């Protein structure tokens, strides 16, 4: 392996150990750590806006409660998404996808991976896929885009929107999604036409990465916070490390 190689450092929901996850302070902190890009999650509001949040509800990450799909953007913006983490972040609001993309566009000299995870829609309506792709294009960030999902229909919809859209197959998951296996076969992964696999770290070894590479798939591993795992994945040739602690990962790069 080339001794100069190091996987891309992808901040999981931003630098979420130092700032509230999936908020602008978390992404700003991650940029200052020298990351290559971000992983974030998107949902549709009741009025068709796209916002960043990991969960389907805002219960755990704000001073409010309720499902995102049942709330308007204006209603969501009334809530504090920072105080639960620390009083230092009081008043932090949920970001829209547009706000996040504008932030990335202003830092395009530093950010080259925008990994957007689209959650399996509760109502099975996957129109968010095309809406996300089109939003990214409006900000001139399509080359940086990588959409991942546990739902293979979302990945297919992204490719239907634009065959050049890079996609990543997330697994495993304990959620029963459209009858899929928690750990899909390589054939199942390839049927989506995806460009990458996003496995949980416990499933990954050198042989796994070599097999995926031989089949033309990049390997971005989540969620990696352990020093030995960082070193092993680097040695094995993983393409990306998705981490809650990008500053720690960066220490191994230097």
DSSP per residue, the chain: --TT--PEEEEETTTTTTS-TTSHHHHHHHHHTT-SEEEEEEEE-TTS-EEE-SSSBSTTTSS--SBGGGS-HHHHHTS-SSTTT-GGGTT--PPBHHHHHHHHHTTTTT--EEEEEEP--TT---HHHHHHHHHHHHTT-GGGEEEEES-HHHHHHHHHH-TT--EEEEE--SS--TT--SS--HHHHHHTT-SEEEEBGGG--HHHHHHHHHTT-EEEEB----HHHHHHHHHHT-SEEEES-HHHHHHHH-
Catalytic residue from among 12, 43, 152, 198: 12
- Our answer to whether residue 213 is catalytic in this structure is no
- Our answer to whether residue 198 is catalytic in this structure is no
Catalytic residues: 12, 54
């Amino acid at each position: 392996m080339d001794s100069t190689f190091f996987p891309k450092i992808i901040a999981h929901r931003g630098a979420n150990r130092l700032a509230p996850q999936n908020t602008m302070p978390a992404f700003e902190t991650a940029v200052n750590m020298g990351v290559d890009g971000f992983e974030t999650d998107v949902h549709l509001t009741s009025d068709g806006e796209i916002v960043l949040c990991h969960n389907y509800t805002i219960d755990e990450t704000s001073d409010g409660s309720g499902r995102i799909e049942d709330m308007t953007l204006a209603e969501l913006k009334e809530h504090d998404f920072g105080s639960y983490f620390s009083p230092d972040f009081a008043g932090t609001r949920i970001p829209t996808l547009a706000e996040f993309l504008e932030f990335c566009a202003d830092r395009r000299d530093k950010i080259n991976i925008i990994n957007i995870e689209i959650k399996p829609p509760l109502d099975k309506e996957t129109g968010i896929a095309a809406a996300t792709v089109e939003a990214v294009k409006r900000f001139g960030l399509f080359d940086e885009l990588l959409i991942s999902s546990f739902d293979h229909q979302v990945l297919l919809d992204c490719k239907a929107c634009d065959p050049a859209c890079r996609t990543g197959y997330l697994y495993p998951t304990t959620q029963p999604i459209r009858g899929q296996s928690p750990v899909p076969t390589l054939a199942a992964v390839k049927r989506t036409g995806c460009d990458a696999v996003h496995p949980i770290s416990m499933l990954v070894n050198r042989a796994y990465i070599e097999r995926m590479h031989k089949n033309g798939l990049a390997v971005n591993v989540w969620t990696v916070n352990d020093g030995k795992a960082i070193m092993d994945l680097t040695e094995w040739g993983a393409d990306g490390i998705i981490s809650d602690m990008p500053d720690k990962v960066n220490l191994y790069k230097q």
